[in-house]
A and B are shown apart, each in its own frame.
Chain A
Amino acid sequence: MTVIDLKQRLRAQARDRLPAPIVARLRSRAGLRARVQALEEEVQENRRLNRRIAELTDVVVELLLPLEARDRSQVEEVLDRFRAGL
């Protein structure tokens, strides 16, 4: 049995001896902590989208648009096909 397993078993045994309302309160607090942690991770994930939006915008504005100007007829064809596939 690992130390973690042992700790979990001891916690479970301790909870079994506590009155139900206290157990519920402890569980809800632990649940809240986990939810806050998950929320923090998700917020950070969303913040990272800022750089991705900037990178994509930069590629479109600085790379794709100037390329477009060089070969208009072919780009028209690609755009038509892309539109048809939406």
Chain B
Amino acid sequence: MTVVVSGDGLLVPRDPRPLLVEIDGHYVWSLTPLRDGRPAAGGVLVPWPQALRPHLRGRGRIRIRAADGASVLYDDEVRLGASEGRLAVVDGAGHRLSVDKVGHLTRTFAATDADIRQEILRGARRAIDDLREGAGVAAYLNYGALLGAVREGRMLAHDSDIDLCYLSAHDAPADIVLESYRITRALRSRGWSVLRMSGGDVKLLLSLSDGRSCHIDVFSAFHVAGTFYQLGNRSGRLPRSSITPFSTITLHGHEFPAPRDPEAMLAFLYGPRWRTPDPSFKYADPPAGVRRLDGWLRGFRTEMGSWTEFYNGHRRAAVPRRRSSFAQWVGTQLGSLPVVDLGTGTGRDAVWYARSGRRVIALDFSRASLRLVRRRARRAERAVEVDQLILGELRSTLLHGTRLARAPHHLAARQLVGCLDEAALEQLTILARMALRPGGGSLFLEFAATHDGPGGADGSPTEPGGLVRRISPSVVRAAIERAGGVVHHAVVGPGEDIFDLPDPAVCRMRATWPTRESP
């Protein structure tokens, strides 16, 4: 059959074998037609992955070949979109990128210089040493790096990061989370930049000499009630004796600890056919295991990645830089007290609050937002204290609550409550209860409210892209009152969304917490 390449995707034969896609000789994506596509006249239509779409404008030579190298299905010059430029999937610095197995654009080892690869391997070795010496956990090489070492004696061409795992001695999820917290502290004290991805895994950001950073994932592995769990999302049967005591494996001249039985680990991860290369491989994790891991370890950063994409992407430019009408409303009620802008976003209001010289603290859970606000405050020459607050991670909420409880101030949050799940909303009210304890300050809220018209139901998505949902003012009021607050003002009327576009129902609310008697 004829393969067709279009802006929609690839029309390819109904084939169970994985295929590789290259643009101008550079690998960009791998797919398995029967798994990734939908039946269409003449074969299977596999849509382009979301991450690639913004790059598919212009002319280029597209080649589609079988992953086993047996055949080339397509090799021709194509034009996608209206642009006459060359198709190129690159980052801002011109580095070639490709789609990884979780759908993100990343730089693969095939597109990485040998010197940089050595830096990455030395970094992984240092991480293993720091985990052992600083946190007392023994880590082993796993996933793509282990597969590459065992099967090909080198890093896999289409892999993009290094994964380390450690086998926890604990079997209670709460203890496994605590161990992961301890690991974070130990690694930070040794100079690592650490991102927490769940209660059981962190990402180390390794700065490379070519200006970018490589991720080293540190995953916990543990047994609960006889089942083996290994983050990301793996679960099943694998005894401790397959992992410890460790064996040793060599990768590009570096020795790494590996599971005692690497082949058993690889079969657990990739199935019995792990010896056959499949760059389009996707995990088929048991749903019950994923459900357990979600419940035990996750829930505090579900939409963090989407917000980071928003703040780093082109749509951010549509958020006005001028203060919101909410800030103007709040501004008339602030007196001389400091203000804390919760869920500060682009910082448009935080920077404006700071114009009078009052103390302003801007908090958000997205690191991309925090970077943006720091930059804007610096350019505007305003003093804004910027920090991360993760409502949903109680440690973060309690820490900020304790700090803020020491002096009077106001809290302002525009379009924040519509981003929160039930647990995070509860933590917002805990924070307000603690932070407004000294008295004199108020909690000011603005959010997209429920209404009777189309799209007005509770939980209905609003901009940007459903990351903010409508919420009933009565739900917010009840949460405030459960935490001991008193709502003084709650008015619903026409207002604006995050882009300042008209919204038929926006609620403004002001609440205070009665000052508690001194002990």
Contact = CB atoms under 8 A, between A and B. Distances in A.
A58 B199 contact: no
Interface residues of B, number: 25
Contacts of A46: 295
Interface stretch (A2-10, A19-27, A31-39, A47-55): A47-55
B172 interface: yes
B399 interface: yes
Given A47-B295, A50-B174, A55 B395 contact: yes
A5 B370 CA distance: 49
Interface in B352-405: 393-395, 398-399, 402
A17 interface: no
B291 interface: yes
* Range class of the A interface residue count: 20 to 34
A59 interface: yes
B399 A63 contact: yes
A56 interface: yes
B181 interface: yes
B423 interface: yes
A81 interface: yes
A58 B178 contact: yes
Interface in B404-432: 423
A44 B174 contact: no
A75 interface: no
Contacts of A43: 295
A51 B177 contact: yes
Nearest to B181: A58
A78 interface: yes
B200 to A, nearest CB: 10
Given A52-B394, A58-B181, A81 B519 contact: yes
B174 to A, nearest CB: 4
Interface string A61-75: 011000000000000
A53 B174 contact: yes
Contacts of B292: 47
B289 interface: no
Given A54-B199, A55-B393, A44 B178 contact: no
A57 B178 contact: yes
B448 to A, nearest CB: 25
B423 A48 contact: yes
Given A55-B393, A55-B395, A63-B399, A50 B177 contact: yes
A49 B178 CA distance: 13
B394 A59 contact: yes
A59 B519 contact: no
B364 to A, nearest CB: 20
A43 B288 CA distance: 12
Given A44-B291, A47-B173, A63-B399, A55 B394 contact: yes
A56 B399 CA distance: 11
A78 B519 CA distance: 8
B438 interface: no
B177 A54 contact: yes
Given A59-B394, A59-B395, A59-B398, A51 B519 contact: no
Nearest to A67: B402
Contacts of A62: 181, 185
B519 A54 contact: no
B484 interface: no
B291 A51 contact: no
Contacts of B174: 49-51, 53-54, 57
A51 B180 CA distance: 11
Contacts of A55: 177, 393-395
7 contacts: A47-B295, A50-B296, A51-B174, A54-B175, A54-B199, A55-B394, A56-B394
Interface of A: 43-44, 46-59, 62-63, 78, 81
Given A44-B295, A48-B299, A56-B394, 9 more contacts: A47-B294, A47-B295, A50-B296, A51-B199, A51-B299, A51-B300, A52-B394, A58-B181, A59-B399
Give the top 9 A-B pairs by smallest Cβ distance, nearest first: A47-B295, A54-B177, A50-B173, A55-B394, A53-B174, A50-B174, A54-B174, A44-B295, A54-B178
